[in-house]
Chains A and B, each alone.
Chain A
Amino acid sequence: MIDAINDALDIMLDRDPNVVVMGEDVGYFGGVFRCTAGLQEKHGKTRVFDTPISECGIIGVAVGMGAYGLRPVPEIQFADYIYPGLDQLISEAARLRYRSAAEYIAPMTVRSPFGGGIFGGQTHSQSPEAIFSHVSGLKTVIPSNPYDAKGLLIASIEDNDPVIFFEPKRIYNGPFNGYYDKPVEPWKKHAQSIVPEGHYRVELGKARKVTEGDELTVLAYGTMVHVAEAVCAAKGVNAEILDLRTIVPLDIEAIEASVKKTGRCLIVHEATRTSGFGAELSALVTERCFYHLEAAVERVTGFDTPYPHSLEWAYFPGPVRIGEAIDKILSE
């Protein structure tokens, strides 16, 4: 997935002279996760450069660059550190088109590694997507595999709205199915790791059907797509798993069609439960599919605590928690 992201950035730097990539350690060093490796050398220091350690500064100058006419792709090293930039994202980037009646826009893509499962503790594991889905004017994208990561990132950079692009760092090097005690496979054995050369887009706002099924609909994104898939396979449940890919805008049509078919819906995310994005999904499914539901909509999420270090696998919404929820839904 790292290579796919690097490839997407490389292609966009080549195609559009207004694309600039910036962030802490992204330049000469190539990023702490290697996502920008080699880009500065190839495209030059004024297109790919290091920044001071200042998230409000990184996002703030990106808004100004967007107003000039550039298409900045700032990186926030960990999603846990995006908060100093929130005022610039929420009050400025998200509102600029609206408040200026489209005189000024913020065509920027904020990339940031997110999610847990890596013993990252409290400040290298968070999933703050619900904060952004609550802000009108921001799009939020979360890929789950290399093919989507490249196509979605290219689509995000080309989009004229500000996009928060969260990269689940647990699956940077290979899919993770939640069975933390088993060896992890690298991406090359995975079908979605085949990444075409050159430019292609994965449209924002479109979910991907991971598996076709009729017993149960599972709504997930990021790392949890792989976990849900593994649990359903292990339990022999004929589930229809939707990888949402973007949570704003949301593919409501795909969700409605699937839940109306299966009559059951399970929502899975790593983020904490209360006011998490699962609450929005649950409400939407209940509102729009009420007469088709045969069981209450269930949410499997992280607990409402800060992300712990040593108790990571007790916290992570893995196979046991998902399995229990599936049993409950199917028993109703």
Chain B
Amino acid sequence: MADRPDQAQQGQNKPTLQLHVPEPSYRPGDAVDFGHLTIPEAGAQPRPDEGCEASETNPLATDLIRVLGDDNLPHGPWDPKLDADTLREMLHHMAMVRAFDERMFRGQRQGKTSFYMKCTGEEATSISAAMALASDDMVFPSYRQQGILIARGYPLTEMINQIYSNSADKLKGRQLPIMYSSREKSFFSISGNLATQTPQAVGWAMASAIKGDSRIAATWVGEGSTAEGDFHAACTFAAVYNAPVILNVVNNQWAISSFSGFAGGERTSFAARAVGYGIAGLRVDGNDPLAVYAAERWAANRARSNAGPTLIEHFTYRAEGHSTSDDPSGYRSAQEREEWPLGDPVMRLKDHLIALGEWDEDRQKSLDEDCATEVKKATKEAEKNGILGHGLHHPFRTMFEDVFEELPWHLKEQSAQAIRERETKFPEGLSE
């Protein structure tokens, strides 16, 4: 008898089918226990050669690459052996991002801008990764990698000008706050549409290879956005053309209110997806700055030597709300952040430097104060150029510019209309 349904039993499945709708382990008010998470010993993971076959990385795609142990010292083959100055620089960038996030969040609450998004708890995934790349490697970030700009020395005042959409905003008030763009820093224009940057990064990397360049591309995407079709396209194209690209998946467990199970995280890791595409896959402790640096460096060397793309899952935790428009107490247990077993990346790096005898609590305190002072100074500087809500800042004609390289007739007509309306709408007078 062939293996096929018995006609007599059609429609009589036993038991009846059930739809599985994922549910996070903890909701508001629940006591949190992350005991089920497998956190391997630091240093236990092998480090294959950067030019290895992609399949050789398969075990690492479900493991967790860790360098910093509970003793705050580096362990194992992934130790990037960074000198103390580099580690202090990394810590400085992290402290700066944290200070920046704090102040900008407050700025939004004070009505200086409409919107902000913090990256608290995820600082290593952008800063350590950016430090492992060359400064002219092209990055295609999502909206939560402000650390890259800071690590690359982009002026804080310029960032704040953009957040405030003021008269000095290089994007002329066209973009939502934090959707930065800096060609000078090889930082691609951020889009609100999720995951679109991933095939773009692959295309940029393909272009670099077509031209025989030596620069590589890296992109960042949240675990939630990996469910977008663009991410599948990016992985396919990256594999097909062996593109010199790094696909960073920041798995911070939450996509606004949806836990990672809704992106398919219940059954396997996000790094494990690399296996099916024939891409090297690494899963790293995203709160271990040394592990993130080492993995990114490994992937960069691999890409640069034409050995192919890498997908890195940074396993981390979104410590704060999704954005200034979000209150996470409505969907997850407040205890999660405290119980998160991988700790805080800034504290771990600080403790590491202290363990090396290269840092102390007093220096940390003054670093934090210095960062707060510098951000405050940059904020004051930016506020001289205005804040959102205090004037429209940019000449009306600029609204019509850059839609195309040149203004077609219909935009010239509409520009003239906007300028005409100005006199009625703002009789007190506005420049241009």
Contacts and interface: CB of A to CB of B under 8 A. Distances in A.
A253 to B, nearest CB: 8
Chain B contact-residue range equals: 35 or more
Contacts of A60: 196, 198-200, 202-203, 230, 233-234, 237
A46 B210 contact: yes
Contacts of A61: 199-200, 202-203, 206, 237
Give the dominant DSSP class at A's interface.
Answer: mixed
A100 interface: yes
A99 B143 CA distance: 14
B197 to A, nearest CB: 8
B233 A56 contact: yes
Contacts of B201: 64
B199 A137 contact: no
A87 to B, nearest CB: 6
A101 B171 CA distance: 5
Interface string A50-63: 01101011001111
A211 interface: no
Chain A contact-residue range equals: 35 or more
A101 B172 contact: yes
A70 interface: yes
Contacts of A209: none
Contacts of B183: 100, 103-104
B359 to A, nearest CB: 38
Contact of B189 (A69, A99, A139, A160): A99
Nearest to A251: B409
Interface in A33-85: 46-47, 51-52, 54, 56-57, 60-70, 72, 84
A64 B207 contact: yes
Interface string A124-146: 00000000000011010000000
Contacts of B403: 97-98, 136-137
Nearest to B408: A249
Contacts of B229: 56, 84
Interface in B231-247: 232-234, 236-237, 240
Contacts of A95: 191
A56 B174 CA distance: 25
A24 interface: no
A96 interface: yes
B417 to A, nearest CB: 13
B252 to A, nearest CB: 23
Contacts of A101: 170-172, 174, 181, 402
B221 interface: no
Contacts of B312: none
Given A87-B193, A91-B191, A103-B189, A98 B402 contact: yes
Contact of A103 (B140, B182, B208, B405): B182
B181 A56 contact: no
A243 interface: no
Interface in B401-431: 402-405, 408-410
Nearest to B219: A64
Given A52-B240, A61-B200, A63-B200, A92 B140 contact: no
A309 to B, nearest CB: 29
A54 B189 contact: no
A196 B409 CA distance: 31
B105 to A, nearest CB: 24
A225 interface: no
A252 interface: yes
B404 A99 contact: no
B174 A99 contact: yes
B179 interface: yes
B188 interface: yes
B148 interface: no
Sort A-B residue pairs by CB-CB distance and give the 3 closest, nearest first: A64-B203, A60-B199, A61-B203
Given A60-B233, A65-B204, 17 more contacts: A51-B240, A52-B236, A56-B230, A57-B233, A60-B203, A61-B237, A62-B203, A70-B211, A87-B193, A96-B189, A99-B174, A99-B181, A100-B171, A101-B174, A103-B183, A104-B188, A249-B408
Interface of B: 138, 140, 170-172, 174-175, 179, 181-183, 188-189, 191-193, 196, 198-211, 217, 229-230, 232-234, 236-237, 240, 402-405, 408-410
